[in-house]
Amino acid sequence: MKRTDITNLFPEATEDQINTIMGINGNDINNAKKGFDDLQKSLKSAQDALAQAHASNKEKELSEALEQLKTVSGELDAMKASEAIRKVRESVAEATGVPAHLLTGETEDDCNTQAQAILKFAQPSGYPSIKDSGEVTVTPKKTTRDSFAEWFNQLS
């Protein structure tokens, strides 16, 4: 996400608001990268444990290492899939100007469809046409005072 993306979508945003949004986005990216790095370290650790178990030929350690490897490998695959989806959403967001956090699709086509729907919804439809502009088109034949007096006399 870039500052221009925010200002294009929300021209009235102040510098503080833009800084806040950019900070939140940066934190999200850093958290995702940290989780990714942690999972890679865990995977490396599991692979090392597996290599040690093979070398020492200890069945229990080997089975535990295999389990840990399967778990970490599954988490890493899920993280990679999540990262791929994030990249797709960011590329569609950059191309369309719709913030990535509004997109929930997992494919580029789904995200493009959502972005177009969001853009269509966000466009103002304009003001309704008014038939009566408020101008007086008929000039009264009597004054307001005469009309009121006539009405009052009819009541009596």
pLDDT in tens, 77-126: 999 999 999 999 999 999 999 999 899 999 999 999 999 998 888 887 77
Residue 18: predicted pLDDT: 82
Ranges 16-20, 70-74, 92-96, 99-103: which has the least confidence: 16-20
Q: Please name the helix (run of DSSP H) or strand (run of DSSP E) that holds residue 3, with its range, or none.
A: helix 3-9
Token couple for 107: 């494919």
- Burial group, residue 111, by CB count within 10 angstroms (0-12, 13-18, 19+): buried
* Per-residue pLDDT at 59 exceeds 80: no
Residue 143: predicted pLDDT: 86
DSSP conformational letter for 138: S
For residues 39 and 104, the model is more confident at 104
Residue 134: predicted pLDDT: 66
Query: In the predicted model, what is the mean pLDDT of the chain?
Result: 83
Q: Taking the domains of the chain in order of start, what are their residue ranges?
A: 3-124
List C-alpha distances in Å: 85 to 62, 107, 109, 147.
34, 7, 12, 74
* Per-residue pLDDT at 56 exceeds 80: no
Confidence (pTM): 0.44
| Burial annotation 16-30 (CB, 10 A radius, 16+ → b, else e) | eebeebeeebeeeee
DSSP conformational letter for 58: -
